[in-house]
Amino acid sequence: MLKIDLNCDMGEGFGVYRAGSDEELMKHITSANIACGFHAGDAATIRETVRLALKQGVAIGAHPGLPDLAGFGRRAMSISPKEAYDMTVYQLGAVSAFAVSEGGRVAHVKPHGALYTMAARDKALAEALAEAVYKVDPRLMLFGLSGSELIRAGEAAGLRTINEVFADRAYEADGSLSPRGAEGAVITDPDRAASQALSMIKHGVVLTRQKNELPLKADSVCVHGDTPGAVVHVIRLRERLEAEGIRVRKAGDHSD
């Protein structure tokens, strides 16, 4: 039986600002990537999101990003591997402390936005992130873009890696995600997003914007919480997966 994890980026509000439909989304996913306070999130939001995840039996993940609140962490910054290491340890520590204080633990780490994209291509940056995760807790799983430098760095560091694919994002011929400003980069049709996910899970291929088939491995599928109609996307995706006999379960769960 095919198995797949469904993950979503969460806890991305801060102060009086709220983003996404975390409470509803949490009912349909298996892993939550919780913003750590740099690109979004704050102490109260982290605590609330951790509690939501524990209530629904969803795996808790840290979602470290660049220190760019105004740009939501989606603007590339020039940072050294040492800076990447330090900011990853710092942010992972924040979510981990809240998880432990609520009776849980962080299961995985998934970099956010521009940091994720940069680490997918930059070997030194990827190695710094992987080292940070391993030194905090070698049991943690590292999520990265399928087949990317981050996956290779995680494997070399001795971490369990999770090849991530995206239901609601278009791909380029080189395996990278299409830039958000490009036409068709964000897939807003829930049926089309579900079909793309099924192709990656069942057949290991995705049709790129350049109309060629790109091979990849799918361990976890991401649906962004800020995609228009995100709740509908997740519900439709789970329905399609279950109809195809694909079991939705947390990353790292080997039970039948």
pLDDT at 254: 66
In a domain, 254, yes or no: no
In a domain, 133, yes or no: yes
In a domain, 161, yes or no: yes
In a domain, 253, yes or no: no
pLDDT at 21: 82
d(CA 95, CA 81): 22
Q: For residue 36, give the CATH number of its domain.
A: 3.20.20.370
pLDDT at 224: 82
Per the structure, the complete domain to which residue 226 belongs is given by 3-248
Tens digit of each residue's pLDDT, the chain (256 residues): 899 999 999 998 787 677 768 899 999 999 999 999 999 999 999 999 999 999 999 999 999 999 999 999 999 999 999 999 999 999 999 999 999 999 999 999 999 999 999 999 999 999 999 999 999 999 999 999 999 999 999 999 999 999 999 999 999 999 999 998 898 899 989 999 999 999 999 999 999 999 999 999 999 999 887 777 889 889 999 999 999 999 999 998 766 5
Nearest to 72 by CA among 5, 130, 149, 20: 20
In a domain, 19, yes or no: yes
Tokens representing 94? Answer: 């924040």
Total domains in the chain come to 1
In a domain, 132, yes or no: yes
Nearest to 63 by CA among 124, 142, 6, 127: 142
In a domain, 256, yes or no: no
- Which residues have C-beta within 8 Å of that of residue 203, sequence separation ≥ 6? none
In a domain, 255, yes or no: no
50 with 17: CB under 8 angstroms?
Answer: no
217 with 204: CB under 8 angstroms?
Answer: yes
By DSSP bridging, strand 205-207 and strand 213-215 are: antiparallel
Residue with tokens 């629904």: 56
Nearest to 220 by CA among 127, 146, 120: 146
pTM over 0.85: yes
pLDDT at 113: 94
Annotate the chain with three-state secondary structure.
CCEEEEEEEECCCECCECCCCHHHHCCCCCEEEEECCCCCCCHHHHHHHHHHHHHHCCEEEEECCCCCCCCCCCCCCCCCHHHHHHHHHHHHHHHHHHHHHCCCCEEEECCCHHHHHHHHHCHHHHHHHHHHHHHHCCCCEEEEECCCHHHHHHHHHCCEEEEEEECCECECCCCCECCCCCCCCECCCHHHHHHHHHHHHHHCEEECCCCCEEECCCCEEECCCCCCCHHHHHHHHHHHHHHCCCEECCCCCCCC
